[in-house]
Amino acid sequence: MTELQKVFLFYTFLYFAFKGGIYVALYVALIIAEKIARQRHEQFLKYRRQKRAEEQMKWKVAYSLCDKKNDVPKPKPLDLSKLINNPNSFSAYSYVKPIW
């Protein structure tokens, strides 16, 4: 092996060692950043739960009124046959052309 080939292999080894070192460093930095992000996310969720509980207590009456309003059953729409035979319906007095 010539001297030039040895120098080339040496610098190639340095290049790959440097590249591998950068990959390892970035991976470790990613792990640390992810850990910090998870901690901040947990803090945010805790803060949001606390704020929602405070809001629930603050607007307790409004929430209960809204729940009562939503609990009232809504009437279902009439079937087509009942709608056509209903004298209060506009369609009872209008001509409907048959499909077939």
Instruction: Inform me whether the pLDDT recorded for 71 exceeds 70.
Output: yes
Instruction: Inform me whether the pLDDT recorded for 55 exceeds 80.
Output: yes
pTM: 0.52
pLDDT value for 83: 66
Instruction: Inform me whether the pLDDT recorded for 9 exceeds 80.
Output: yes
pLDDT value for 80: 73
pLDDT value for 96: 60
Q: Which two tokens stand for residue 51?
A: 């704020």
Calpha distance 85→92 (Å, rounded): 6
Calpha distance 32→10 (Å, rounded): 33
The residue that leads in pLDDT, 96 or 62, is 62
